[in-house]
Structure 1
Amino acid sequence: MEYALTANHLMKKYGRSNALDNFSMQVPKGAIYGFVGKNGAGKTTLIRLACGLQSPTSGTFTLYGVKNTQKGIRKARRRMGAVVEAPSIYLDLSAADNLKQQYHVLGLPSFDGIPELLKLTGLNDTGKKKAKDFSLGMRQRLGIAIALAGRPDLLILDEPANGLDPQGIIEIRELILRLNREQQITVLISSHILDELSRLATHYGFIDKGHMVKEMTAKELKAACRKCTRLTVTATAILVRTLDRMGLEYEVISDTQTDIYGEFPLTELTLALAKEHCSILSLHEHDESLENYYINLVGGDKYE
């Protein structure tokens, strides 16, 4: 398999703390790779290393097979575009003029590609409107347009939907899917909006405290997200005691609702509850969410 980006036992130290600790990853060419982790887990540090904004303390990474220690890494980086943390845009310039500035930086010979980029990112009707008057979603799309100016094969987006309203999130999602499917651009998305990420990603990497906890495909994740049955009962305390006696895994959702994971003997449970005058009011099956899977994978509190 070809990889757009790999990391091999990367270490990045800041004083005595390790932002990345023996970190390894593989981003397949053509993937939409969801990079999942809490704030401070090391996501942005990895992105900064890949972009050449910082250097690793030890270990290596590759871009399209070229190691960061090789002379060809600068040329390989030309195949990459990125929006790190917040879009780098000139607020007093229009979308077209922002792109012209990026074309100058890249040394591109003409502005012929700008109308296509504006249309692709849904900014072709903004005219002379200055970026400071754009919505947050429009600014995010302009940042992506700027990252696309060099026609990259790999696009890295750091929290692209952060702070956006529902419509803005939908627009960013549709743009990412178009770039991946129509232009075959590999996309690495760092995000904590896990529900939205599940609508996009073909592959996942789960990072915690600088370590890669697990990498998997979307298909593997779907299989790993366990099914559970949500029970609504008249007395949750009685249900919990009964589930403990039966050795079943569960999570109390509210005063009346509890999720039970895996298969369980429904008849036996119903009879056991009836003996203690507890009734099942309703039950339905559903899949474990990506959020719950991540929490169970890394342990601890809910992601931030």
Structure 2
Amino acid sequence: MAVIEARGLAKTYGGRRVVSDFAMTVSPGDIYGFVGKNGAGKTTVMKMICGEVTPTAGEVVLFGGASEGGARRIGVLIEQPGLLPGLTAYENVMAKALAFGLVDAKERCAEVLRLVGLDGTGRKKAKGFSLGMKQRLGLALALLGNPDVLLLDEPFNGLDPEGTRALRNLIVRLNETLGVTVVVSSHVLDQLDRFATRYGVIANGHMVRQMTAEEVAAECATSLRVRTADAARDLALLEEAFPAARFTAYPDGSLVVGGVYDAENIARTLRDNGAVVLEFSQETRDIEDYFVALMEGGRHV
């Protein structure tokens, strides 16, 4: 059962449609990298998922049931965390715990501050926190209700490398030790590539593609480029000889070979069958180029 399923979502502001016919599926245990350029619609989608924004069309189904009930099981950190600058970390989370009516407020506040590494901040006010500390305090607030799912919108924005690494490790720890499903929206690909288990790419308000980390790795794995004098004949020859390989033909007459293949055997097969080889090279696709192509509207990748 999906923990989040968006079906035909659309949102219009002032006559301008910012999300259209959007579909998304997040499974239990995912660290779901929600990828898109600034302005692509990521934040609007996340606000519709958590119930902060009402869709113009479509629906969000949480935990297999109505979105109204499931929304209480989601912790949210969207845009800037809503902190009370004149209060300490503990006072901030306690204020929200009391608003929630938590019966074990003291214990729960101490626990979430320990989880995010802010249990030693003492009487320091939130206004004096670094950006990374504010992000972690925002995450503590999102964790207060013991959520099954976390929605984190661009959590790495403005963080230095140390703060980014600490927050990334924390997200992984929450996922692995507490079983929290995490949706992280970002355009910072080199961070998502380090820990996401699944991806969704949005462009111009549309979901372009969803895939696992393994599928992305396979798409970007080392491939073989072959160009011969008779591409059509040689493509048929290679497809028959190497059924486990994946062949893509391009207008310039070249073939890109992926999947399971052996470059030496392919070269030998071409030579033994009299092929005139014009190009034979191996290349590795850059993961950033791969995602940028998708984010630019899903052109051929």
Which bin holds the TM-score, normalised by the shorter protein?
A: 0.7 to 0.9
Cα deviation, residue 49, structure 1: 0.8
Give per-residue Cα distances to partners, 1:51-102, cap 9 Å, x unaligned.
211100111111111234xxxx1x3111100000111111111100000011
SS in 2 for 1:99: helix
The 3 A distance-change label for structure 1 pair 286 and 194 is farther
SS in 2 for 1:19: strand
Unaligned runs of 5+ in 1: 230-243, 250-259, 266-270, 274-282
2:100 to 106, 123, 134: 106
Residue type of the alignment partner of 1:167 = E
Match of 2:182 in 1: 187
Match of 1:124 in 2: 119
Q: Map of 1:266-277 to 2, 5 A cutoff?
A: none
Output the TM-score relative to the length of structure 2: 0.79
Q: Distance in 2 between matches of 1:210 and 1:154?
A: 23
Q: Is the 8 A contact 1:248 1:261 kept in 2?
A: no
Unaligned runs of 5+ in 2: 225-249, 268-276
Q: How well do the aligned residues superpose, as a CA RMSD in angstroms? A: 2.8
Match of 2:231 in 1: none
Match of 1:19 in 2: 18
The 3 A distance-change label for structure 1 pair 114 and 295 is same
1:84 aligns with 2:78: yes
Match of 1:170 in 2: 165
SS in 1 for 2:163: helix
SS in 1 for 2:83: coil
Cα deviation, residue 296, structure 1: 2.2
The 3 A distance-change label for structure 1 pair 300 and 28 is closer
1:295 aligns with 2:292: yes
SS in 1 for 2:107: coil
Match of 1:152 in 2: 147
SS in 1 for 2:294: helix
Q: Distance in 2 between matches of 1:261 and 1:162?
A: 38
Q: Is the 8 A contact 2:175 2:181 kept in 1?
A: yes
Match of 1:54 in 2: 53
Q: Percent sequence identity over matched residues?
A: 44
Q: Is the 8 A contact 2:203 2:296 kept in 1?
A: no
Q: Distance in 2 between matches of 1:298 and 1:248?
A: 26
Q: Is the 8 A contact 2:8 2:58 kept in 1?
A: yes
2:192 to 197, 203, 226: 197
Match of 2:247 in 1: none
Output the TM-score relative to the length of structure 1: 0.78
- Paired positions, count: 261
